[in-house]
Amino acid sequence: MIESVIRCPNNMVMAFDKGHLLLPGVAPGGERRIYPATINSNLVLFTPIRLIRRTKMIKSVIRCPNDMVIVFDKDGEQIPQYQGQYEEVKESILKNAPLNTVFAYLSDFEPELRKVPREKW
């Protein structure tokens, strides 16, 4: 978790977590890694600690009458990697959807979405 960020005169950015300097790096495939830096005398040591993926967070999931699933983020934009036939995407959605995700059914006969609990979706 980044606590504070400092922009230097040379436009470099330094991020800190609990007083420790964190340095960003880019891993193969475009994933971001955060490296904590330990300053020991005049030597700086870097150790990779975690991967941060820049994926959209699931906000709402709609199951259509034809069993197609549409997934949206908090900005109302679709998230294609979670969309498709219900049986094909159900497991990954339930695994990755936060607890506050809204699950709903779209009916052929009713104009409004019918919200359902995650367990019954």
User: What's the rounded Cα separation, in Å, for the pair 39 and 46?
Assistant: 9
pTM score, whole prediction:
0.55
Query: Which are the contacts of 14, defined by CB distance < 8 A and separation ≥ 6?
Result: 5, 6, 8, 21, 23
Candidate from 23-27, 56-60, 62-66, 68-72 with smallest mean pLDDT: 23-27
Give the integer Cα–Cα distance in Å for 22 and 56. 23
Choose the weakest-confidence range: 23-27, 42-46, 81-85, 112-116.
42-46
What is the rounded distance in angstroms from the CA atom of residue 3 to the CA atom of residue 15?
A: 7
Residue with tokens 């919200």: 115
